[in-house]
Amino acid sequence: MSEDGKMLDCLGLTITGEEVQRWDELWLEDLSGARRPSDWGPDFFKPCRREGPVLEQFREENLPGIPVEEMADLRVLEIGCGLGRLARLQLGSAPSRYVGIDTSRLAVALARGRLHGYPGYEFCHSVDDRDHLQSLRGEFDLALAVSVFIHLPPVRAAAVLRYMAEVVAPGGWVSADVPVDADCQTTVREQWKPGETWSVVANQGDLLWETMHEAGLVDVQTHHTLARRAYVVGRKP
Ligand X SMILES: C[S@@+](CC[C@H](N)C(=O)[O-])C[C@H]1O[C@@H](n2cnc3c(N)ncnc32)[C@H](O)[C@@H]1O
Under the rule (CB under 6 A), what is the footprint of ligand X?
11, 13, 23, 79-82, 85-86, 101-104, 107, 126, 146-148, 151
Q: Which is nearer to ligand X, 167 or 218 (CB)?
A: 167
Q: Which is nearer to ligand X, 170 or 226 (CB)?
A: 226
- In the complex, least distance from residue 30 CB atom to ligand X, rounded to whole angstroms: 9
Number of H helices and number of E strands within the chain? 8, 9
Phi and psi at residue 21, in whole multiples of 5°?
A: -65, -35
- In the complex, least distance from residue 58 CB atom to ligand X, rounded to whole angstroms: 11
Q: Which is nearer to ligand X, 171 or 191 (CB)?
A: 191
10 contacts 167 by C-beta, under 8 angstroms: no
How far CA 49 is from CA of 76, 100, 232, in Å, comes to 18, 19, 27
Q: Which is nearer to ligand X, 86 or 237 (CB)?
A: 86
> Which helix (H) or strand (E) is 100 found in, with range?
strand 97-102
- In the complex, least distance from residue 237 CB atom to ligand X, rounded to whole angstroms: 26
> Which helix (H) or strand (E) is 55 found in, with range?
helix 53-62
- In the complex, least distance from residue 101 CB atom to ligand X, rounded to whole angstroms: 5
Residue 36: partners with Cβ closer than 8 Å, 6 or more residues away: 30
Strand partners, 16: 6
Q: Which is nearer to ligand X, 13 or 115 (CB)?
A: 13
Residues 79, 94: Cα–Cα separation, whole Å: 19
Residues 33, 226: Cα–Cα separation, whole Å: 27
